Amino acid sequence: MVNQIVRIIKRRRGETDYFYLQNSYREDGKVITKEKYIGKTIPTNIEEIKEEFGLEVKKSLYEKLENIKRNFQSEWETYPETVKEKEKLEIAIAFTYNTNAIEGSKITLEETRDIIKNSISPPKSLKDVKETENHSKVFLDMLSTKVKISDNLILKWHKNIFNETKHDIAGTFRTYLVRVGNYIAPNWQNVTPLITQLTHFVNNSNLNPVELAARAHYRFEKIHPFGDGNGRVGRLVMNNILWRNEYPMLIIEYKKRNQYYKALQKDEERFVNYFIRKYVSTHKRYLHK
């Protein structure tokens, strides 16, 4: 995993200053440092040069992500359709359990399995049961259709998950201020244009899909477009991006939610680093097939 710190350094030789870009990053547990000479003065287009230098380092990381995709698809294509459907159901169970548990649901993993596979309702909150049922349906439909992210799709997902439990806010963007801990989300009047801007970014970006999924999820959570249910819809957004681009999906585990929360509280670049590091670790079996 690459966790980049790009800095400008100056070295003096005699009476002359020489400037370099230095990029230190951690990969496979080791700190690696690379440098690039940029001249006797700092160029006016330094930000562009820094970005290009950063991309050179990212190249090896992108190759890892491409290996994960290629080897995952190679394995997936060997499965008969019935096995693929079974695998999708197991992913739906695991994803639905974890994403709901992060948001406070008391439904266990085995109870989630009974609800989704056997239509057996446990003696738990009817709200939690309904949201488990509805989330799994939305998720499985997402896997089948692979529809591009849009404002309407985001609203549809929210409505389908919460229409039976939060009918007063289901399928509508918030019209009031929200606060998440110390973070104050954007003014509600800016929510629709911000979501439109986000979906345009997702559908027109040339970023690697794993990085794109991380950035989209982070930006979605910062917009916080709904009165409730932002985490669940945001995690659907990120997995939609991965699945549509033929990458294996990522489940944020309930038991590791504190790492996830801490990463979301940081800036975007640090969240992206957390996300890609977790992604590579989760799917490392696909790296060297």
Q: CATH number, domain at 276?
A: 1.10.3290.10
Let me know whether 222 and 175 are in one domain: yes
Would residue 72 count as lying in a domain?
no
pLDDT attached to residue 49 = 86
Is residue 210 in a domain? yes
- What is the pTM assigned to this prediction? 0.84
What does the pLDDT look like over 258-284, one tens digit per residue? 999 999 999 998 899 899 989 999 999
165-184 residue pLDDT tens: 999 999 999 999 998 888 99
In this structure, of 38-52, 105-119, 151-165, 207-221, the range with the lowest mean pLDDT score is: 38-52
Shared domain for 192 and 240, answered yes or no, is: yes
Tell me if 108 is assigned to some domain. yes
Is residue 73 in a domain?
no
Please indicate, yes or no, if residue 68 is contained in any of the structural domains: no
Residues 165 and 266 occupy one common structural domain: yes
Q: Are residues 13 and 99 in the same domain?
A: no
Same domain for 118 and 225, yes or no, is: yes
Query: Do residues 122 and 53 both lie within one domain?
Result: no
* Domain membership flag for residue 49: yes
Tell me: pLDDT of 57 over 70: no
* Three-class HEC string of the chain: CCCCEEEEEEEEECCEEEEEEEEEEEECCEEEEEEEEEECCCCCCHHHHHHHHHHHHHHHHHHHHHHHHHHHHHHHCCCCHHHHHHHHHHHHHHHHHHHHHHCCCCCCHHHHHHHHHHCCCCCCCHHHHHHHHHHHHHHHHHHHHCCCCCHHHHHHHHHHHHCCCCCCCCCCCCCCCCEECCEECCCHHHHHHHHHHHHHHHHHCCCCHHHHHHHHHHHHHHHCCCCCCHHHHHHHHHHHHHHHCCCCCCCCCHHHHHHHHHHHCCCHHHHHHHHHHHHHHHCHHHCCC
29-33, 61-65, 147-151, 160-164: segment of lowest average pLDDT: 29-33
Same domain, 84 and 50: no
From 35-44, 190-199, 229-238, the region with the lowest mean pLDDT: 35-44
Same domain, 43 and 150: no
Shared domain for 161 and 47, answered yes or no, is no
Residue 69 lies in a domain: no
| 211 pLDDT more than 70 | yes
Q: Are residues 38 and 122 in the same domain?
A: no
Structural domain count, the chain: 2
User: 71 in a domain, yes or no?
Assistant: no
- What's the average model confidence in pLDDT over 89-95? 98
Residue labelled with tokens 């289901």: 170
Model confidence at 27, pLDDT cuts 50, 70, 90, reads low
pLDDT attached to residue 16: 94
Tell whether 114 and 52 lie within a shared domain: no
Overall average pLDDT of the 214-238 stretch: 97
Same domain for 233 and 121, yes or no, is yes
Its domain, for residue 163, covers 79-286
pLDDT band at 228 (very low <50, low <70, confident <90, very high): very high
